[in-house]
Structure 1
Amino acid sequence: MEKKKSGINGHAGLKDPLPAIPMQSEKKSFKDRFVVFLKRNLLVIMTVSGVLVGVGLGMMVRNMNLTRAQMTYFAFPGEMLLRMLKMIILPLVVCSLISGAASLDTRSLGKLGGIAVAYFLVTTLIASSIGVALAFIIKPGVGAGALNSNNLGLEGLSSNKETTDSFLDLARNLFPSNLVAAAFRSYATDYKLVFVGNGTNGTLNYQKVPFGTESEGMNILGLVLFAMVFGVALKKLGTEGEELIRFFNAFNEATMVLVSWIMWYVPFGIMFLVGSKIVEMEDVVLLVTSLGKYIFASILGHVIHGGIVLPLIYFGFTRANPFSFLSGLITPFTTAFATCSSSATLPTMMKCVEENNGVDKRISRFILPIGATVNMDGAAIFQCVAAVFIAQLNNLELNAGQIFTILVTATASSVGAAGIPAGGIITIAIILEAIGLPTHDLSLMLAVDWIVDRTTTVVNVEGDALGAGILHHINEQEMRKQKQQEEQELQEVKVEVVANVQAEEETSPLITHQNRGDNSSRETLDDKDGVESVL
């Protein structure tokens, strides 16, 4: 037996070498584990290293006093990363939403869509409340009344757009008149003065008349709505629409392959993106000393919302550890920090949510493009802080009505905020117009936007990812319930069939008599029993 036992271990008839084998296998397994860990997290390690190396590289190059042209050349690898990520946004959003909407049935689509919209609205409203509360506690604008854009060498930012026209533009962009044009342009209202006649004292009367213009930038809101409705329409077609659904599914999968290739360029591109931003920085000490409270209030709001509120909401729904979920998304968070663009982070976010966190493709490809467009928690925080900051800067006391207006306007206008760097600055103008504050101080926001916008984008994409995780959990629960109900119904049917057959065999004297007597009647009975059991 001993010989046989030791033979299985590969050492027939030898007892002494046996104890050494577990140590060898342990060493091997540890090495294997390390290799597996390295392979699995190589991209994350490279991406985080890219940010750190970029900071060091930027500090070194900053001392060289580069010319503007040289700065442009230095930033070129980072610019290439942004261009590649933006290139993939259009096919990714359109194809993923069409295939996502077509793969979900209409009832679950409506339910998931309703939960998603409720989640986006509630989290954005909470974010706005945090922003307003922190602005009133920290008071970033108090004592900074002497500060203006001339102190910092900034140009004034003019914005004369009416609040009503801003929201009307949002509705117009939802329904683009030209889908091809929507891929690179969006609708924007401008104004012109029209002469309407002479006044009573000889003055000339003019009226400000709004007219439509096309502004540069993808109308992603219109494309999202069209793709969703088109996907539902294909689902309604049934067998006729299946070929087109398969086409968009294949297109989507091919796009995700491109994304996986681009992701290996991300660490290199991020290194130069971060480095070039550090090289381009103006006098940081002056900015931090003058606008330090505003920066602190905004970033603290992002830390509270992203580190406490959103994980608590996720835990409340799923009863799972939110930080283990977020640990699989370090690459998209790093990309968001470097690019300052929710839309540019979408490809990497979609890839990591599906592969690292196991979220259903139908859920992630339906929710994440919508979230990247309409869910802007981080933007809502810094917009509210900025609005209160500008009010304090101009020594204006905000009443309860104006505070409520800030909350509602920030929540509503963040839906239309472009998922691009500095996209939220334009939205602040809408809030300021709504509460009657001057917009000439917006240039101060632009001065520090490159700092605040990084944490803003991280919180934006974190909200989208956790929303996808919550919806995936709800969807799994619904599927589990349906499966249990189906199994229970099947069990009940089986029990009823068996009971009926037994009852007839025991109580019917006719069947008993025929069973005893006639073989032909027995065959008839067998047929009858067979029919009953099938039913």
Structure 2
Amino acid sequence: MEKTSEINGHVVPNSASTEKIMEEQQEETATTKKEKKTRVDKLLACLSKNLLVILTVSGVLVGVGLGMLVRNLDLTRAQMTYFAFPGEMLLRMLKMIILPLVVCSLISGAASLDPRSLGKLGGIAVGYFLVTTLIASGIGVTLAFIIQPGVGAGGLNTNNLGLESINSDKETADSFLDLVRNLFPANLVSAAFRSYATDYKMVAVGNDTNGTTLYQKVPIPTDSEGMNILGLVLFAMVFGVALKKLGQEGEELIRFFNAFNEATMVIVSWIMWYIPFGIMFLVGSKIVEMENVVLLVTSLGKYIFASILGHIIHGGIILPLIYFGFTRKNPFSFLSGLITPFTTAFATCSSSATLPSMIKCVEENNGVDKHISRFILPIGATVNMDGAAIFQCIAAVFIAQLNNVDLNAGQIFTILVTATASSVGAAGIPAGGIITIAIILEAIGLPTNDLSLMLAVDWIVDRTTTVVNVEGDALGAGILHHINQQEMKKQRELLQHPEGELAEVRVEAVANARAEEETSPLVVHQIKGGESMPEAIESVL
């Protein structure tokens, strides 16, 4: 029995029992403190991990509030320019890094892949880009006929809205020829800041019977401001394959571009911490610059609604379904790691400017192989424009309805094909898609004088357009990464069971076989002693 003592007539436990109770209470207190500390640590770790995302989203929200406040101050044009300066600096920094990032990542990516694997990778990527863009064009045309944004808007005129008219007399054939010409730049240095563009001049070719001089419109070559990314992408890919073909002689240069690429990514990580501050002023300045936004939105509300709805359907349903169909993984958990590049895309309206943060987040947050991400994402930022295809198709049908033109099946098919093809050449810059609408209108024989309506509200539509563009690129990289993982698994099984139907090919060791990332997993190298090297299997892509 437990011994007790009596104090002031009350029975109390002895000292040993009291110490035991105190120890238990101290243990409970320590456990509670530890649990609280653990929760705080987890919260801090979560905040630390997602700090950039939180700051970036906050930058957009603060920018909207700041823009609404400053808008009431009636700033002059000069003061608006000064207010937008921090946002301008963000765009300049992002554009500054595009050239080294695209060229070095594509050269090192192409050089790290076996030609056979490179062909497979390119084939899958091109198929994915074409199919998703065609689907996007189909969604755009369907929504335009269902919502009918141009019906009943015949009285809408650019003069009432105070818009300047836009003249675009470029022939459809010349637009596509310019696309091909830009693939092969005559001067690589000038391709870094200029692209080829066809202009026209009237040339006298003689007189008619009445003595009137006859003129013909002749295309002449000119240069337009803006980086020729298509030409740089093609050259970088071909140069990377050429370095791979050199074997040991090309290894030094491959290592140089790999180091250049990694250094560029370090600079990108520094720039990303400026993004929240820059985005705040980008969004704020755009709100301050708005003039009669209420009239524009009410006049073109159905067009804006149709475009944004198309982007929501394609980006929120179609693309995630395609990703799920290939990977059987939750697409939204994949997309949750890309909030920072999506916010950047929303603020900058530029696929190219979003590329640096997209590559970084896809690799770090979603674990995509850097050989895949740094090869596919620069190409996607150039040629994969799902969001642009949607609003271009809606714009073409809108202008047809505005001019009371009934489109036949042939014209609808022309819109689909032209929008898919011309989106490849659309510049990854703000309002880059407006020019390609002119190509579609010329192809179906519609006037281009209503393009100014599109330009007036492009700053609204272009934000969701760019988000869908970069989402398509990111999910494409995720699909290719999954296919790569599956093929690697098959190759491992082949090594473990070489007697299967598909036996691996064995060849003599080549000079640069020690560079694992430059070795095709489709070929297992064999040492002259006869023992195969299982580490030669790196990646099918």
What's the TM-score once normalised by structure 2's chain length?
A: 0.88
Task: Work out whether residues 345 and 463 of structure 2, in 8 Å CA contact, stay in contact via their aligned partners in 1.
Answer: yes
In the TM superposition, residue 450 of structure 1 has moved relative to its aligned partner by 0.3
In the TM superposition, residue 26 of structure 1 has moved relative to its aligned partner by 1.5
Alignment correspondent of 2:473: 464
CA offset digits 1:290-330 (Å, max 9, x no partner): 00000000000000000000000000000000000000000
CA offset digits 1:398-417 (Å, max 9, x no partner): 00000000000000000000
Which of 307, 320, 326 is matched with 2:335 structurally? 326
User: Residue 497 of structure 2 aligns to a residue in which SS?
Assistant: helix
- Tell which deviates more after alignment, 471-480 or 14-23: 14-23
Alignment correspondent of 1:28: 37
* Counterpart Cα distance in 1 of 2:192 and 2:293: 37
Which of 98, 105, 109 is matched with 2:107 structurally? 98
* Counterpart Cα distance in 2 of 1:399 and 1:410: 17
Does 2:453 align with 1:453? no
* Counterpart Cα distance in 2 of 1:387 and 1:282: 25
Does 2:121 align with 1:112? yes
Task: List alignment gaps of at least 5 residues for structure 1.
Answer: 1-10, 493-531
* Counterpart Cα distance in 2 of 1:239 and 1:99: 15
- Tell which deviates more after alignment, 145-154 or 121-130: 145-154
Does 2:207 align with 1:168? no
* Counterpart Cα distance in 2 of 1:427 and 1:16: 74
Alignment correspondent of 1:244: 253
Alignment correspondent of 1:522: none
Number of aligned positions between the proteins: 485
Alignment correspondent of 2:138: 129
Counterparts in 2 of 1:253-268, with a 5 A limit?
253-268=262-277
Which of 371, 380, 391 is matched with 2:389 structurally? 380
User: Residue 164 of structure 2 aligns to a residue in which SS?
Assistant: coil
Does 2:285 align with 1:281? no
CA offset digits 1:11-62 (Å, max 9, x no partner): 9x95553344432221121111111101100000000000000000000000
Alignment correspondent of 1:487: 496
* Counterpart Cα distance in 1 of 2:29 and 2:462: 57
Counterparts in 2 of 1:433-448, with a 5 A limit?
433-448=442-457
User: Residue 209 of structure 1 aligns to a residue in which SS?
Assistant: strand
* Counterpart Cα distance in 2 of 1:483 and 1:240: 30
User: Residue 425 of structure 2 aligns to a residue in which SS?
Assistant: coil
* Counterpart Cα distance in 1 of 2:267 and 2:305: 38
Task: Work out whether residues 494 and 500 of structure 2, in 8 Å CA contact, stay in contact via their aligned partners in 1.
Answer: no
Task: Work out whether residues 150 and 303 of structure 2, in 8 Å CA contact, stay in contact via their aligned partners in 1.
Answer: yes
Counterparts in 2 of 1:287-306, with a 5 A limit?
287-306=296-315
Consecutive aligned runs of 4 or more in structure 1 exceeding 6 Å deviation: 532-535
Does 2:345 align with 1:345? no
* Counterpart Cα distance in 1 of 2:25 and 2:60: 53
Does 2:195 align with 1:186? yes
Identity across the alignment (%) = 84
CA offset digits 1:232-281 (Å, max 9, x no partner): 11111111100000000000000000000000000000000000000000
Alignment correspondent of 1:393: 402
Does 2:92 align with 1:83? yes
Does 2:122 align with 1:146? no
* Counterpart Cα distance in 1 of 2:378 and 2:226: 17
In the TM superposition, residue 446 of structure 1 has moved relative to its aligned partner by 0.4
Query: Structure 1 counterpart of 2:232, which letter?
Result: L
Query: Structure 2 counterpart of 1:257, which letter?
Result: V
Counterparts in 2 of 1:483-522, with a 5 A limit?
483-489=492-498
Task: List alignment gaps of at least 5 residues for structure 2.
Answer: 1-19, 502-528, 533-541
Alignment correspondent of 2:508: none
* Counterpart Cα distance in 2 of 1:470 and 1:76: 39
Query: Structure 1 counterpart of 2:489, which letter?
Result: R
Alignment correspondent of 1:416: 425
* Counterpart Cα distance in 2 of 1:249 and 1:148: 54
In the TM superposition, residue 202 of structure 1 has moved relative to its aligned partner by 2.4
* Counterpart Cα distance in 1 of 2:399 and 2:23: 84
Which of 358, 363, 366 is matched with 2:367 structurally? 358
Query: Structure 1 counterpart of 2:474, which letter?
Result: A
In the TM superposition, residue 488 of structure 1 has moved relative to its aligned partner by 1.1
* Counterpart Cα distance in 2 of 1:107 and 1:482: 15
CA offset digits 1:180-233 (Å, max 9, x no partner): 000000000000000000012222110110010000000000000000010111
* Counterpart Cα distance in 1 of 2:461 and 2:70: 23
Q: 1:534 to 1:194 in 2, by over 3 A?
A: closer
Does 2:49 align with 1:49? no
User: Residue 210 of structure 1 aligns to a residue in which SS?
Assistant: strand
Query: Structure 2 counterpart of 1:149, which letter?
Result: T
* Counterpart Cα distance in 2 of 1:317 and 1:422: 33
Alignment correspondent of 2:17: none
Query: Structure 2 counterpart of 1:408, which letter?
Result: V
RMSD: 1.7
* Counterpart Cα distance in 2 of 1:215 and 1:97: 25
In the TM superposition, residue 490 of structure 1 has moved relative to its aligned partner by 8.1
Higher helix share: 1
* Counterpart Cα distance in 2 of 1:128 and 1:534: 54
In the TM superposition, residue 342 of structure 1 has moved relative to its aligned partner by 0.2
CA offset digits 1:474-518 (Å, max 9, x no partner): 0110011001111112899xxxxxxxxxxxxxxxxxxxxxxxxxx
Query: Structure 2 counterpart of 1:450, which letter?
Result: W
* Counterpart Cα distance in 2 of 1:15 and 1:411: 72
* Counterpart Cα distance in 2 of 1:358 and 1:382: 32
Alignment correspondent of 2:243: 234
Alignment correspondent of 1:431: 440
Does 2:278 align with 1:269? yes
What's the TM-score once normalised by structure 1's chain length?
A: 0.89
CA offset digits 1:365-406 (Å, max 9, x no partner): 000000000000000000000000000000000000000000
